Chains A and B, each alone.
Chain A
Amino acid sequence: MSRRPFDPGEIDRDATDLESAANELERYAALTATATPRDLDDRVMAAVERDPVPRRGVLGRLGWPALAAPMGRLGRVAVLAAALVLVVGGVMAAGELARIIRDASIGGPSSSPTESFVPSASPSEEASPSASESESPTDSIDGSASPEPSGTPRSSEESGGASVTPEEQQTESPSVTASPTPKASQTSTPEETSTPTP
Chain B
Amino acid sequence: MTVLQAPAAGITDGHAGLARATWHDTGVDDRALVDAVLDGDRDAFRLLVEREQRVVYRACLRILGRPHDAEDVAQEAFVMAYRSIASYRGDGPLGGWLLRIATRQAFRRLRQRRETSELGSALVLNAPGADPLAAALADERQRAVRLAVASLGEPYREVVALRFFGEMSLDEIAATTHRPVNTVKTHLRRGLERLRPVLGAEAVA
Which A residues are closer than 8 A to B by beta carbons?
2-4, 6, 10-13, 15, 17-18, 20-22, 24-26, 28-29, 31-37, 40-41, 43-45, 47-49, 51, 53-57, 60-61, 63, 65-66, 69
Contacts and interface: CB of A to CB of B under 8 A. Distances in A.
Interface string B144-182: 011001000000000010011101111000000000001
18 contacts: A10-B185, A10-B188, A11-B192, A15-B189, A21-B192, A24-B195, A24-B199, A24-B204, A25-B145, A28-B145, A31-B125, A36-B54, A45-B45, A45-B49, A54-B83, A60-B85, A61-B87, A66-B84
Nearest to A22: B192
A43 B85 CA distance: 18
B4 interface: no
B21 interface: no
Contacts of B193: 18
Contacts of B204: 20, 24
Interface of B: 37-40, 42, 45-46, 49-50, 53-54, 57-58, 61-62, 67, 71, 74-75, 78-80, 82-87, 125, 142, 145-146, 149, 160, 163-165, 167-170, 182, 185, 188-189, 192-193, 195-196, 198-201, 204
A34 B55 CA distance: 10
Contact of B125 (A26, A32, A47, A65): A32
A21 B196 contact: yes
B143 to A, nearest CB: 10
Main secondary structure of the interface of B (DSSP, over half): helix
A145 B85 CA distance: 79
Contacts of A35: 54
Contacts of A32: 58, 61-62, 125
Given A20-B200, A25-B160, A28-B62, A47 B54 contact: no
B29 to A, nearest CB: 18
Given A18-B192, A24-B199, A24-B204, A44 B78 contact: yes
Nearest to B37: A54
